[in-house]
Amino acid sequence: MQKMAKELSTRHLIGIKNITEDDIQLIFETADNFKEVINRPIKKVPSLRDITVANLFFESSTRTRVSFELAERRLSADIVNFTASSSSVSKGETLLDTVNNILAMKVDMVVMRHPAPGACVYLAKRIPANIVNAGDGTHEHPTQALLDAFSIREKLGEVAGKKVAIIGDILHSRVALSNVFCLNKLGAKVRVCGPPTLIPKYYEALGVEVSHDVRETLRWCDVANVLRIQLERQDIKYFPSLREYHQYFGVTRQMLDELDKEIVIMHPGPINRGVEITSDVADSRHSIILQQVENGVAIRMAVLYLLAAKG
Ligand code: CP
């Protein structure tokens, strides 16, 4: 692969809030190249051959963990995988002690998912390795937002000017916040939609529209990114029942059939079929959900490659 002249403005990827539009475009251009690589019969390049990456997952994950691991393997990095339940964190060790012990074994980069918002920025200030945030509590999930925007660009040609609706549990979603930052930087028009109890008041100040009407939002948008209800983060009830949530906010085939245009359906996963989205929408020709997953590997390869170049 050709070495790119440009570089990122940062040596960590903590959130989309802290990177520039140029950074995002550079990640996309690099991911275009890596997408071509991972569709070849031989999917591996030697770009990170002397780099060791630790994947620290303190919270459950399917897509992000597997996607980062594949991205690292495709770049020929050495990998160590770590989950909270099998580690000495469960014996009372601090996060910083755990990470410093791993770094003492000559690890260069850390990919971390953690339930505490701010855990990655806390580490980035205290350790010498590059940090990539793989989701920190309700704060940010930057690689998810990058792969979402990259998938919109791939499907619709560009992101600027497109109307993107984010529908669902906005209050508990790191995906929603990172998507808003990313789409705003790329010039999309953004709307969040859901029950009033699941949309924080500060969202209007982020420069997005707010709606509580799913049918009208689907008529408005070019792309609907549907989010699940994050019950694991809800200690009180925000709506009466999942059945009522589905009745008022679930995206259904009938809603799509009522539109006089085609829209793109996205979902970051995991999907709760029959709650926020029906199977005949998730599996329809409108859906690019599995393309999002495929693009995640190319985006994560790009992020790791560009951060490694920053040292
Ligand atoms: N989209 C996403 O973060 O999925 P996982 O929780 O499975 O990683």
CB 46, CB 77: distance < 8 Å: no
> In this predicted structure, what is the pLDDT of residue 2?
46
Instruction: Please state the φ and ψ torsions of residue 154, each to the nearest 5 degrees.
Output: -65, -40
Task: Quick: pLDDT tens for 91-104.
Answer: 888 999 989 999 99
Cα of 260 vs centre of ligand 1, distance in Å, is 32
Q: Does domain 16-141+293-310 have CATH number 3.40.50.1370?
A: yes
* Residue 3 pLDDT class (50, 70, 90 cuts): very low
Atom of ligand 1 nearest to the CA of 134: 3
Decide if pLDDT at 124 tops 60: yes
Which residues sit with their C-beta closer than 6 Å to ligand 1?
Answer: 61-64, 135, 141, 144, 268-270
Could you tell me what percent of the chain has a pLDDT over 90? Answer: 89
> In this predicted structure, what is the pLDDT of residue 88?
73
Pocket test for ligand 1, best of 56, 63, 112 (most atoms within 8 A of CB): 63
- CA pseudo-torsion sign 265, 269, 274, 276: negative
Cα of 296 vs centre of ligand 1, distance in Å, is 11
> Rounded to the nearest 10 degrees, what angle do helices 142-156 and 174-185 cross at?
50
What is the C-alpha to C-alpha distance for residues 90 and 86, in angstroms, rounded to an integer? 8
What secondary structure letter does DSSP report for 125?
Answer: T
Residue (of 253, 292, 300) closest to 269 by Cα position: 292
Atom of ligand 1 nearest to the CA of 135: 3
> In this predicted structure, what is the pLDDT of residue 235?
77
Decide if pLDDT at 311 tops 90: no
Decide if pLDDT at 161 tops 60: yes
> In this predicted structure, what is the pLDDT of residue 87?
73
> In this predicted structure, what is the pLDDT of residue 240?
85
Pick the CATH number of 142-289 from 3.40.50.1370, 3.40.50.720, 3.60.15.10, 3.90.220.20: 3.40.50.1370
Within 10 A of 129 (CB to CB), how many other CB atoms are there? Answer: 20
What secondary structure letter does DSSP report for 2?
Answer: P
Lowest-confidence region among 34-43, 82-91, 166-175: 82-91
Within 10 A of 184 (CB to CB), how many other CB atoms are there? Answer: 17
Domain with CATH 3.40.50.1370 in the chain: 16-141+293-310, 142-289
Cα of 63 vs centre of ligand 1, distance in Å, is 5
Task: Quick: pLDDT tens for 192-251.
Answer: 999 999 999 999 999 999 999 999 999 999 999 999 998 788 777 888 899 999 999 999
Pocket test for ligand 1, best of 56, 60, 64 (most atoms within 8 A of CB): 64
Q: Environment class of residue 58 by beta-carbon count within 10 Å: exposed (0-12), middle (13-18) or buried (19+)?
A: buried
